[in-house]
Amino acid sequence: MRKQLIVVVVILVVVFGAIFGGRSYANHRAAEAASHRSFPPVSVSTAVARDEPWSPEVNVVGSLEAVDGTEITAQIAGNVTRIAFRSGAHVQQGQLLVSLDDSSQLALLHADQAKLKLAAATLARTRKLYASHAASQSDLQTAEANEGSARAAVEGDQAALHKLHITAPFAGVAGIREVSLGQYVSPGAGVVSLQRYAPLLLDFSLPQNSVSEIAVGQEVAFTVNTYPGKVFEGRVTALGSRVDPATRNIALQATLANPHDLLRPGMYGSVKLAVGKALRGVVVPNTAITYNTFGDNVYIVTPGPRHSLIAHEQVVKVRDQRAGLALVQSGIKAGDTVVTAGQNKLRDGAPVAVDNSVQP
């Protein structure tokens, strides 16, 4: 009887085990199928992490100024009688720009020249008389002084005449003229702006901790949004003599070539300057990095079961960034495939489908 009971119990255990095991397996298969239906592969774009050299750079804003640039002004009052340049034209050093009425000054010059002629004749006669002891030394000194005063008056008249004919102090490009024919101009009144375009000076500043890493002769690259994609190269030609106590920055000045006069004084743009020692590390597109307050991370794509692809979240440490790239210090290695777009739809272990036809 006892043996029969044991057999019955064993049979019941086997039957119920088969029933519940089958149901558990069916539930597992259903859950797995539901899981695959709930999380289809996420479409992402990817890039391969590369081991590359990396030169540390700083990017700051700089502004241009002319090596020679000034506002040409009138030194003596007068009416404009001639305009000898065109607005925006290139002018040569010494070229006449504007003439002011010089009639009164010419008349004064002629009068003073006549006085100088008389004083010179008187001096010559006095010297002869002094040589024959017919004139005193005092007479000779007076004649010399009169001749000197008359000569100085003529030189002053000539200098004033020169100032009435305004010329270019250096070769450059004239701006828009600020005077018209017949206009009366006062001393200090603007006539035209004159700028030399080649070369140009580039002014910018860097934090004081960069002082030990910069030197005269260092290369700089300047870009301006007026010419997208074009880089103007130059070299550092001067460092400031002190650090600004208000900003703790040091002023720098570079000299740029200006081919075809594309740049203008007063423009501002981005200055790129290499500082420090060259590095080497793993470089990925900046879009691969997800930045947050709890740490930066990337998604690495690895092979999964049945020829699938799986994205795994990985914490990384970013050392530097520039030009759309990031230098990663730790967390990934060269050759890893990282997600560059579509991270917002991912979770750790999610299946992915790579579509690199569209890159961020």
Are residues 152 and 216 located together in one domain of the fold?
Answer: no
Are residues 269 and 230 located together in one domain of the fold?
Answer: yes
Are residues 223 and 245 located together in one domain of the fold?
Answer: yes
Contacts of 110 (CB under 8 A, 6+ apart): none
Model pLDDT for residues 161-183, shown as the tens digit of each residue: 999 999 999 999 999 999 999 99
Largest Cα–Cα separation, the chain:
178
Alpha helices in the chain (DSSP H): 2-38, 103-131, 137-164
**SS3 assignment, position 100:** strand
Q: Report if residue 184 sits inside a domain.
A: no
Q: Report if residue 23 sits inside a domain.
A: no
CATH code of the domain in which 327 resides: 2.40.420.20
Are residues 155 and 212 located together in one domain of the fold?
Answer: no
Q: Report if residue 174 sits inside a domain.
A: no
pLDDT score for 42:
86
pLDDT score for 54:
80
Contacts of 97 (CB under 8 A, 6+ apart): 72, 83, 84, 85, 91, 166, 167, 168, 174, 191, 192
> CA 85, 88, 91, 93: dihedral to nearest 10 degrees?
110
Are residues 268 and 208 located together in one domain of the fold?
Answer: yes
pLDDT score for 19:
57
pLDDT score for 345:
86
Q: Please say which residue of 243, 274, 305 terminates a domain.
A: 274
Q: What are phi and psi of 43, to 5 degrees?
A: -75, 125
- 171-182 as b/e: b if 16+ CB within 10 A: ebbbbebbbeee
Model pLDDT for residues 252-299, shown as the tens digit of each residue: 999 999 988 899 999 999 999 888 777 788 999 988 888 887 788 899
Are residues 266 and 316 located together in one domain of the fold?
Answer: no
Place of tokens 């001393």: 187
pLDDT score for 243:
92
Q: Report if residue 330 sits inside a domain.
A: yes
CATH code of the domain in which 133 resides: 1.10.287
Q: Please say which residue of 150, 167, 184 terminates a domain.
A: 167
Instruction: Please give the Cα distance from 175 to 166 (Å, whole number).
Output: 15
CATH code of the domain in which 250 resides: 2.40.30.170
Instruction: Please give the Cα distance from 358 to 341 (Å, whole number).
Output: 9
Q: Report if residue 47 sits inside a domain.
A: yes
Other beta carbons less than 10 A from residue 211's beta carbon: 15
Q: Report if residue 13 sits inside a domain.
A: no
Crossing angle for the helix pair 137-164 and 103-131, to the nearest 10 degrees = 160
Q: Report if residue 74 sits inside a domain.
A: no
DSSP state of 75: S
Are residues 269 and 220 located together in one domain of the fold?
Answer: yes
Instruction: Please give the Cα distance from 344 to 5 (Å, whole number).
Output: 62
- Tokens representing 233? 């190269």
Task: Note whether 237 and 254 are within 8 A (CB).
Answer: yes
Q: Please say which residue of 125, 151, 167 terminates a domain.
A: 167
pLDDT score for 263:
93
What is the domain extent for residue 224?
A: 58-67+196-274
Are residues 237 and 204 located together in one domain of the fold?
Answer: yes
Say which amino acid occupies 230: K
Instruction: Please give the Cα distance from 71 to 327 (Å, whole number).
Output: 48
Model pLDDT for residues 218-238, shown as the tens digit of each residue: 999 999 999 998 999 999 999
Q: Report if residue 261 sits inside a domain.
A: yes
What is the total count of domains within the chain?
Answer: 3
pLDDT < 70 regions, the chain: 1-39, 358-360
Are residues 330 and 299 located together in one domain of the fold?
Answer: yes
